[in-house]
Amino acid sequence: MAINATIIRRSGEDFLNRFNKKPLVVRSPGRVNIIGEHTDYNNGFVLPAAIDKAIYVAVAAREDDEVKLYSVAFNESFETSLLQMEPTKKGWPNYILGIADQLKMNGYLLKGFDLVVDGDVPVGSGLSSSAAIECATVFALNEIFDLRISKLNMALMAQKAEHKFAGVRVGIMDMFASLYGKKDHVIKLDCQSLEFEYVPFKLEGYKILLLNTNVEHSLASSEYNTRRKQCEQGVEWITAHHKEVKSLRDATMEMLNQFVKPKDEIIYKRCKYVVEEKERLLSGCENLKNGDIEALGKKMFQTHDGLSKEYEVSCKELDFLVDEVRNNPDVLGARMMGGGFGGCTINIVKEEAIDDLIKEISAAYQKSMNKELTAYVAEIEDGTCVIS
């Protein structure tokens, strides 16, 4: 597995210096999503995978109720007590405190703990570093306190932790991908039943290239919650006529045209994107199973256009990066990935063309957007596990 030995050593040493004992180290990866964006909280399907960039937490139990945290990335400590779990203005501790709070709320008995968080998932890049911290924390606390929590319940608690402590009503995709990831496979997850299937991800001669806009997605949380509400509003208008429709998963274009379009054009556009994306994912997944990566790639461009023009969660930098590769024969597909308003595009690129593409597109991006681009070739890896 692609573990980052430098980070493991660093977080272990840091922990030893700070807390003077040997920790348990857990790795929990970031994720990519091939297709199926903003479908998870609409009870649709998603197609994510865990990657070779991860968060590492080093943890040990304490005898008292104190919680002592340190983030290597922010070079910052945070201290509180288990008896006083509430969100803080500081940001990063919330993902850890939110988990401790969930464990308490669900009746698990824990003591205080010391924890160092480190990692190489770029923060704010749409690779889901927050879910990775939550999953690493819940997995590690489950180990050291022998709580015997199933992976599915860990994912559900991590999702609730984010709702409550980060204030973003995220779906289940990121946590699920981080915990359940499997090397060289994507996860076809049904977000309604939570049943899933591992689909081999074979890209003969092609790789996943992530292009990070380095745009902070500051609008992301409030707009994310707004999109969720807009989808719920659309469903409500349909349910008034079709009781069986519980989410956009159950909705059809005819229903949208009949009950949503006349009421509100914007909500109609949002719902239309989701209903179309649901179908795109299902047929894109078949393309993948049949080895037709070209067809899958074309759908990724369509997803981008829907996210940009109808769901309106893109930004000029993401649109620029997708437009730059749209007619490049070495790029089979590209789109913005994750919540939106910044972060990365995901591209399926011919292996031998990657270096030149990175050079050209970085220069073009710098020239047109006056920003630096960061590029990563992502490998698909296993999900959360104990390292040492």
Footprint on this chain of ligand GLA (rule: CB under 6 A): 37-38, 40-41, 128, 170-171, 173-174, 338-339
What is the closest distance, in whole angstroms, from the C-beta atom of residue 298 to ligand GLA in the complex?
Answer: 20
Under 8 Å between Cβ of 81 and 88: no
Under 8 Å between Cβ of 12 and 118: no
Distance CA(213)–CA(376), nearest Å, equals 12
What is the closest distance, in whole angstroms, from the C-beta atom of residue 31 to ligand GLA in the complex?
Answer: 8
Nearer to ligand GLA, 158 or 325 (CB): 158
What is the closest distance, in whole angstroms, from the C-beta atom of residue 213 to ligand GLA in the complex?
Answer: 15
What is the closest distance, in whole angstroms, from the C-beta atom of residue 227 to ligand GLA in the complex?
Answer: 9
R_g over Cα of the chain: 21
Q: Which of 40, 114, 118, 174 is catalytic?
A: 174
Number of residue whose CB is nearest ligand GLA: 171
| Tokens matching residue 275 | 């209903």
Closest of 281, 341, 282 to residue 307, by C-alpha: 341
Nearer to ligand GLA, 312 or 330 (CB): 312
Nearer to ligand GLA, 147 or 166 (CB): 166
What is the closest distance, in whole angstroms, from the C-beta atom of residue 335 to ligand GLA in the complex?
Answer: 11
Under 8 Å between Cβ of 54 and 4: yes
Nearer to ligand GLA, 306 or 339 (CB): 339
Does 174 participate in catalysis according to the annotation? yes
What is the closest distance, in whole angstroms, from the C-beta atom of residue 143 to ligand GLA in the complex?
Answer: 25
Beta bridge partners, 378, equal 208
Nearer to ligand GLA, 25 or 307 (CB): 307
Nearer to ligand GLA, 114 or 174 (CB): 174
At residue 208, what are phi and psi to the nearest 5 degrees? -90, 120
Catalytic site residues? 174
